[in-house]
Chains A and B, each alone.
Chain A
Amino acid sequence: MAVLSDPDRLSILKRFAEQLSALRVVFNLSKPDLQAAVNAIDAWADSNQAAFNTAIPLPARTALTTKQKLQILYYVLSRRYEVEP
């Protein structure tokens, strides 16, 4: 999978900013700087796909589809986000 499209990356910025706005959390990173962070994180995810796949032990590595691996990654990151103080 390639990096996300610009509209997809913008939608992440928008979703993040909407949640901050809803909570009225003080946040002063500018739009260009926030977008650069989103883009860099997406690029990092893209360039580390092979390492991510290699980290999954066999037989799961071959049994799981790419979508299923991403689903597990999503759940792991979501839980890590929830338990992060």
Chain B
Amino acid sequence: MTGDTLVVFTPLAATFPTSNYATPDLRNNHPVLDFDGATDEEAYFEGVLPAHYNGGSLVIDLYVALTSATTGSFRFQTDVERMNDGGPDLDADSFSGSFQSAGGSASATSGIPTKISITHTTAQIDSLAANEPFRLKVRRDADGTSGTDDIATDAELVRIVVREA
């Protein structure tokens, strides 16, 4: 139902593309994923949408700290790959192609995370249903294709919360 937390991912759950991937790091023993400031980098997260998902839009909350910046704007994008029964061949990526985006502003203290929320309609998640496996792709839009990202240094992904809108 609306507002339900559906899935939580920590940086330790990430899998990676073969190039331009986010880099695992530690910040005061918190696992984080470093996303470069100049090149778009990505990480994947594999999960299952729980049974109590009610068919609404998904909101993906990204908790992001900055390594060095205390001013400026950053930008992230997400996409979802439905992995249903009889669905896509694992030998090829099958993300919906509907990258959704949102931006955030650097906290005045670099270690304090900022939450940005990215909403996907059911069409933008290929009608992913309850109890179905899926893969979430998270990308920092460092080159600012979808909006302003003017922070040159790394962004650190701390946590992902997927909830129903």
Interface of B is mostly: loop
Q: In the complex the two chains form, is A31's CB within 8 Å of B110's CB?
A: no
- Provide the residues of chain B in CB contact with A45, threshold 8 Å: none
Interface of A is mostly: helix
Q: Kindly state whether residue B72 has any CB partner on chain A within 8 Å.
A: yes
A32 to B70, CA, bound (A): 16
Total interface residues on B, CB under 8 Å, equals 19
CB < 8 Å A-B pair total: 58
CB-CB under 8 A for A31 and B34, given A21-B154, A24-B110, A26-B68 = no
Q: In the complex the two chains form, is B150's CB within 8 Å of A18's CB?
A: no
From the candidates A13, A25, A28, A29, name the one contacting B38 in the complex (CB within 8 A): A13
Q: In the complex the two chains form, is A26's CB within 8 Å of B110's CB?
A: yes
A25 to B68, CA, bound (A): 5
Q: Kindly state whether residue B48 has any CB partner on chain A within 8 Å.
A: no
- Kindly list the 7 A-B residue pairs having the minimum CB-CB distance in the complex, ordered from nearest: A21-B154, A14-B38, A30-B150, A21-B67, A17-B152, A27-B68, A21-B153
